[in-house]
Structure 1
Amino acid sequence: MHKLGLIGGLSWTSTARYYEIINKAVHRAKGGQHSAPLLIESLDFATVAGCATEEDWDIAAVQLIDAARRLEGAGAEALLICANSMYRVYDRVQGAVDIPILHIAEVVGRKMQAEGVEKAALIGTRNVMTEKFYRQRLVAHGVSLLPADMELAERIDRIVYDELTVGKVSRDSERYMKSELTDIAKQDVQAVVLACTELELIVDVKANVLPIYDCTGIHANAGVEFILG
């Protein structure tokens, strides 16, 4: 098996899900006592959370580059950055190492294209929903996206940073997301892209009116394919 590196701590709750998904999938594929050969660099999320200015993103990029180089030096053959929002600095991090970093929006976009999805709603934190770095990757795979709902983006930011990243799961937030997804299903879309690695904690991705493309699971399983490949 190939050794995979995870840049995690972005937040620890979603990193735990990556670890669980990857190891369960490797065990299913290999059987016995097999588990995934992983290297994990778990960052202090407080130092990169809530980036708002270009200076903030410069600081985040430096931290991610340092983490990627340490993982490469330790023997990782490919990397996952375990947070949708941090792909804003993907090009800078990828340019600093010689091993591939599997882009979360690319693997999601390829899956949607293969399954014939042409219209979708993108749900995530504010920078993911509103900025080009993520949306353009999906559009390049033939997926037309609804305009960003700013009220929803602001509420998701509060849910993610005040609750989910610190391990708090609220019934109010679960109900809110279920209501929003029900409303989205009434629009002219074929699917929802759940582009926040923590939202899976409060959204049942298998029990909604529309198909939900859970970026956490799709990305983690791309990592599994690399490990087993």
Structure 2
Amino acid sequence: MRCKTIGLIGGMSWESSSEYYRLLNESVRAHRGGLHSAPCLLLSVDFNEIAALQRAGDWDELTKKMIACAKTLETAGAEMVLICTNTMHKMADEVEAEISIPLVHIADVTAARIQKAGLKKVGLLGTLYTMEQAFYRERLARSYGLEVLIPEQEERETVHRVIFSELCLGKTLDSSREMYREIIRGLVERGAEGIILGCTEIMLLISAEDCPVPMFDTTAIHVAAALELALE
């Protein structure tokens, strides 16, 4: 069985992109055994440039960059594309419209996993852009009937700060893990039946043992969905 070539738009941050690469290869080896690994192409951007455009709110320029990345991967032989970050799925529909290969949408495959678990109300952790802007929460609500809770304002700022000031720089602090645990407990008290780790770096800090309800690691779910498509 041939495994299709997976195109990865990474570097946002490379800390989580390295997890994509590791998980893809471990999963292919588990499926196929021996010396098998994942045929993949990684186009890794300079996250400093991306983060500056995010802060400036220049989503049009970011959209152009993501489209260019996807087209480059398609030209190079990728048979599907993954944007290895939740936040940059803000322009996923525009990217998908400009390529002729599938784009595996991180929110869609995560929502499908939540539906399979029979849950209706979930808490969302991510960057401020992912938590506060409509593109992610409304997709989950409109297409999958999910009610999405986000932390309070100060807690959202804490989640965002830890992502950019620590996790994207390879730092995992016990004090930050405890803050995340407290924020998760607050979402559960408000009725969250599960928690979405809606930033691909959060899995570097938080694991299932930190969460009193089912946890949905978007990085691992994204990889699993891509591999399922690649091995069809």
Global fold match (TM > 0.5): yes
Distance 1:91 1:69 in 2: 14
- Structure with the higher fraction of residues in helix conformation: 2
Q: Is there any run of 5+ residues in structure 1 with no aligned partner, and where? A: none
1:45-70 deviation per Cα after TM superposition (whole angstroms, max 9, x unaligned): 0111151344x212211211111111
Q: Hey, what's the Cα distance between the residues in 2 that align with 1:206 and 1:20?
A: 22
Worse-matched range after superposition: 152-161 or 80-89: 152-161
Q: How does 1:136-155 map to 2 (within 5 A)?
A: 136-139=138-141, 140-155=143-158
- In the alignment, the residues of structure 2 paired with residue 111 and residue 35 of structure 1 have an alpha-carbon distance, to the nearest angstrom, of 25
Do structure 1's residue 166 and structure 2's residue 169 form an aligned pair? yes
Aligned pair count reads 228
Consecutive aligned runs of 4 or more in structure 1 exceeding 6 Å deviation: none
Query: Which residue of 2 is the match for residue 106 of structure 1?
Result: 108
Match of 2:201 among 198, 207, 214: 198
Q: Secondary structure at the residue paired with 1:48?
A: helix
Q: Deviations over 1:98-143 (max 9, x none)?
A: 1111110000111111221101111111111111110112112121
Which deviates more, 191-200 or 87-96? 87-96
Unaligned runs of 5+ in 2: none
State the TM-score, normalized to the length of structure 1: 0.95
Distance in 1 of aligned mates of 2:88 and 2:19: 17
1:146 to partner: Cα distance: 1.9
RMSD: 1.3
Give the structure 1 partner of residue 88 of structure 2: 86
8 Å contact kept, 2:149–2:187: no
CA–CA distance in 1 between the matches of 2:48 and 2:60? 15
Identical residues among aligned pairs (%): 36
Counterpart CA distance in 2 for 1:161 and 1:74 is: 31
Aligned letter for 2:162? I
Residues 1:147 and 1:165: Cα distance change in structure 2 (over 3 Å):
closer
The structure 2 residue matched to 1:49, chosen from 51, 59, 79, is: 51
